[in-house]
Amino acid sequence: MKRPPMLRTLRTPATALLLSAAIGSAHAADQADTQPMVGGGDRVEQSGPTGMPATTGSGGSADTQGTFSDSGAEMGIGVEQFFSDASAQNIAAIKAAELALEQGSDAVKSYAQQMHDAHRQNNRDLRELAATLQVETEDDPALSAQAEQLLLKLRDGDDFDQAYLDNQIVAHQQAIALYNRAAQIDNEQVVSFAEATLPTLQEHLEQAQKLAGRAPAQPQ
């Protein structure tokens, strides 16, 4: 039986997700003494560095303030889009964790190690599922380089721990929104994967909120 052609993932929305996470980290380092963001929503307002170009895509956008707007939240998401966005989120989480393992306090390093291991495993599982569904996933070297450049701004922050935790709160809220959308896809394997992952993402979010000294948002 002839196998279906490999589907290539969409790159632009993945860029929005990865860069929004990196922008959030960079801004938190530069603005550690400003009012903290409000957790518990799918959209989180967080200003970014001056002059940061906007990144837009069919799955969402990162505006000049570093805010990721999930413009497709109500209209659903496709299989290819989910793999693209989820992979980008994992890459961003891994890179941020690596930096936190170098510069964070003991408590933050412990959390970062957990994030590093969990998101690496999630990305492996994601790629295995993508291969099963004949969806191609690739790392974009240029995308990774952009994220690394933005994450370097964390190194100059006065409060690295708070900057990293701010980033993780935003990133996990975005991830939860993405996986909730994926749970509505008309594909049993993707739905099963999303539903199995959501409790872990929620746990990671609550851990970051606790470390940052914020009360976890109550379920709606």
Does pLDDT of 148 surpass 80? no
pLDDT classification of 136: cutoffs 50, 70, 90:
confident
**Rounded Cα distance, 74 and 81, in Å:** 15
Q: What would the pLDDT profile of 162-192 be if each residue is shown by its tens digit? A: 989 998 999 999 999 999 999 999 999 999 9
pLDDT value of position 214: 75
Does pLDDT of 18 surpass 90? no
Q: Is the Cβ–Cβ distance between 13 and 58 less than 8 Å? A: yes
Q: Is the Cβ–Cβ distance between 185 and 77 less than 8 Å? A: yes
Say what percent of the chain tops pLDDT 70. Answer: 54
**Ramachandran assignment for 134, one of left (phi > 0), alpha (psi -120 to 50 degrees), beta (any other):** left
**Rounded Cα distance, 105 and 96, in Å:** 14
Whether this prediction's pTM lies above 0.85 is answered by no
Q: What would the pLDDT profile of 89-133 be if each residue is shown by its tens digit? A: 999 899 899 999 999 999 999 999 999 999 999 999 999 999 999
pLDDT classification of 149: cutoffs 50, 70, 90:
low
Mean residue pLDDT of the chain comes to: 71
Domains and CATH numbers, the chain: 7-211 (1.20.1260.10)
Does pLDDT of 194 surpass 90? yes
Q: What would the pLDDT profile of 47-61 be if each residue is shown by its tens digit? A: 333 222 333 333 443
Higher pLDDT, 90 or 218: 90
Torsion of CA 186, 192, 193, 197, to 10 degrees: 120
The per-residue DSSP string of the chain comes to: -PPPPPEEPPSHHHHHHHHHHHHHHHHHHHTTTSPPPP-SSSS------TTPPPEEETTEEE-TTS-EE-TTTTT---HHHHHHHHHHHHHHHHHHHHHHHHHS-HHHHHHHHHHHHHHHHHHHHHHHHHHHTTEE----HHHHHHHHHHHGGGGG-S-HHHHHHHHHHHHHHHHHHHHHHHTTSS-HHHHHHHHHHHHHHHHHHHHHHHHTT-PPPPP-
